[in-house]
Amino acid sequence: MDLSWLNQFAVLLWKNFILKKRKVVSLTVEISLTFLFSALILLHRRDLAKDYRNATLFNPLPLKELPGFLTDRKHEYILVYVPSESDVAKNITEMVKNDLNARLKVRGFSSEEDFERYIMFVNKTTRVLAAIIFDHDFQNSNERLPLKVRSVYLSCDI
């Protein structure tokens, strides 16, 4: 094992000691100022008022219905699904709408690009609550979804 760095460090400490030995007054001032400022910080910290705040507790949001700020009657929200050609995707989105028990409009788009175009250019008055995108190429409208759940955080096969 190479101990040259340890030897270099020892030489550096020795040189520093030789320089400090020549100026004893400077050394004592440096050490005393270090202790003085450390003591001042500790004394100041002791005298400060400690202001502890309790944890902020929020009321839980129900999972079976939308929160109050989303059930506002002034605005109509849309629940979007992609692709619109699949009956399975439409049925799942309708079940989500019914489970949320809210006044939502369900709308399907044939592709993600159509949905993005709608959001950027066409959608002026309505608000999209969520978009459910089924990442599967459906061959016909009655084809079942594959039994695989994927998300950003979870990937498992059922």
Retrieve residue 140's tokens.
């016909």
Summarize pLDDT for 23-62 with one digit per residue, the tens: 888 888 989 999 999 999 999 988 887 777 788 888 887 7
Would the pLDDT of 158 be above 70?
no
How much is the pLDDT for 155?
A: 42
Give the mean pLDDT of 123-148.
68
Q: CA–CA distance from 92 to each of 37, 104, 110, 145 (Å)?
A: 67, 14, 16, 10
Alpha helices (H) in 1-158, listed in sequence order: 4-22, 24-47, 87-100, 112-117
CA angle (73, 114, 139) in 5-degree steps: 110
CA angle (80, 86, 87) in 5-degree steps: 95
How much is the pLDDT for 129?
A: 78
Instruction: Round to whole Å and give the CA distance between 92 and 98.
Output: 10
Cis ω for the linkage preceding 83 (within 30 of 0): yes
Give the mean pLDDT of 57-68.
75
pTM flag (> 0.75)? no
Would the pLDDT of 147 be above 90?
no
In angstroms and rounded to an integer, the radius of gyration of the C-alpha atoms of the chain is 34
Least confident of 14-18, 41-45, 119-123, 153-157: 153-157
Give the mean pLDDT of 87-106.
80
